[in-house]
C-alpha cells in the first residue's frame, strides 16, 4: 500500500490530497478543512489583483486573459479522477448558476473548471466531464507552467506528484471571482449558504452595473 502524505495548510485554504493506490486499485483521500460556516459569504478584495498573461486551452479554443473581459468569471481548480470533492464543487457551481438565473444576472457571469492534471486529463475529456454539471461551465487545462502561473495569481495551491508507485494530486478548493476587467476581485469556499452567496454576488454585479 502506498504511504499516505498529508498536506499542511493554513486557513482559509482547504487542501485535499488524493492518493493513488496503484492502477486499478482505486483512490483513498486525506484532507484538512475548517468546519463549514453556513453564514460565510464572499471575501471581496480591497484591491483588485492583476492577472499575469496566461494561455490555457478548452475544446472551444484558447482561454486567456482576453477570454475574461466583459463578464464576471468564477473559477475552480480540480482534476477528473477526483472522487468526491471536485464533483461536489462543480455541483455547487451549477447551483450558483441556477440561482443567478433567478436573479436575471446569469448572462453576466461565466463559470470555469481548470484541470491541474493535464498529463491524464485531455481537453476533450475535461469538456465531457464538466458537461455533466451544466452547459454553462467551461472546462480548460494547459501546461504545468501556465497552470501554475494562473493558479498562483488567484491564490490557489495545487501539486501533482507522479512516480511509478504513486500518483498524487493535491489542490485548494477555492471559488475565485474575476471581474469584467480581467482582475481577481474575490473568493469564497465550500460550506456557504447558497441563498446568501447568490444575493451577495448579485448585489456586487448590480452595484458595478450602476457605477459604470
Let me know if residue 185 belongs to a domain: yes
Per-run averaged pLDDT (10 residues), the chain, 212 residues: 29 34 28 48 92 96 96 96 90 94 90 95 96 94 95 92 82 93 95 90 82 54
Cell of 187: 473568493
Let me know if residue 27 belongs to a domain: no
- Amino acid 207: pLDDT: 83
- Amino acid 1: pLDDT: 28
pTM: 0.81
Let me know if residue 6 belongs to a domain: no
- The two counts, helices (H) then strands (E), for the chain are 4, 12
Cα 129 to Cα 45: distance, rounded to the nearest angstrom: 31
Let me know if residue 24 belongs to a domain: no
Let me know if residue 114 belongs to a domain: yes
- Amino acid 212: pLDDT: 52
- Amino acid 211: pLDDT: 56
Cα 13 to Cα 162: distance, rounded to the nearest angstrom: 23
What residues make up the domain containing 128?
38-156+172-211
Say how far residue 136 (Cα) sits from the centre of its chain: 14
Cα 184 to Cα 175: distance, rounded to the nearest angstrom: 11
Let me know if residue 140 belongs to a domain: yes
Let me know if residue 193 belongs to a domain: yes
- Amino acid 41: pLDDT: 77
Kindly give the pairing relationship between strand 15-20 and strand 167-172.
antiparallel
Neighbours of 60 (CB within 10 A): 12
Total structural domains within the chain: 1
Let me know if residue 162 belongs to a domain: no
CATH for 119: 3.40.30.10
Amino acid at each position: 500500500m502506498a504511504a499516505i502524505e498529508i498536506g499542511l495548510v493554513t486557513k482559509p485554504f482547504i487542501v485535499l490530497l488524493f492518493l493513488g493506490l496503484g492502477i486499478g486499485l482505486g483512490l483513498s483521500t486525506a484532507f484538512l478543512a475548517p468546519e463549514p460556516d453556513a453564514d460565510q459569504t464572499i471575501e471581496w478584495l480591497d484591491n483588485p489583483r492583476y492577472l499575469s498573461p496566461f494561455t490555457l486551452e478548452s475544446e472551444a479554443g484558447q482561454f486567456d486573459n482576453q477570454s475574461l473581459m466583459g463578464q464576471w468569471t468564477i473559477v475552480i481548480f480540480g482534476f477528473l479522477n477526483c472522487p468526491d470533492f471536485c464533483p461536489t464543487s462543480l455541483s455547487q457551481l451549477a447551483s450558483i448558476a441556477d440561482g443567478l438565473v433567478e436573479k436575471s444576472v446569469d448572462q453576466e457571469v461565466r463559470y470555469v473548471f481548470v484541470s491541474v492534471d493535464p498529463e491524464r486529463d485531455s481537453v476533450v475529456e475535461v469538456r465531457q466531464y464538466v458537461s455533466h454539471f451544466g452547459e454553462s461551465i467551461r472546462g480548460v487545462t494547459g501546461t504545468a507552467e501556465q497552470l501554475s502561473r494562473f493558479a498562483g495569481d488567484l491564490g490557489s495551491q495545487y501539486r501533482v506528484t507522479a512516480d511509478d508507485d504513486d500518483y498524487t494530486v493535491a489542490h485548494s478548493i477555492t471559488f475565485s471571482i474575476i471581474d469584467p476587467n480581467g482582475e481577481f476581485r474575490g473568493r469564497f469556499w465550500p460550506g456557504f449558504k447558497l441563498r446568501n452567496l447568490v444575493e451577495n454576488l448579485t448585489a456586487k454585479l448590480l452595484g458595478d452595473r450602476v457605477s459604470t
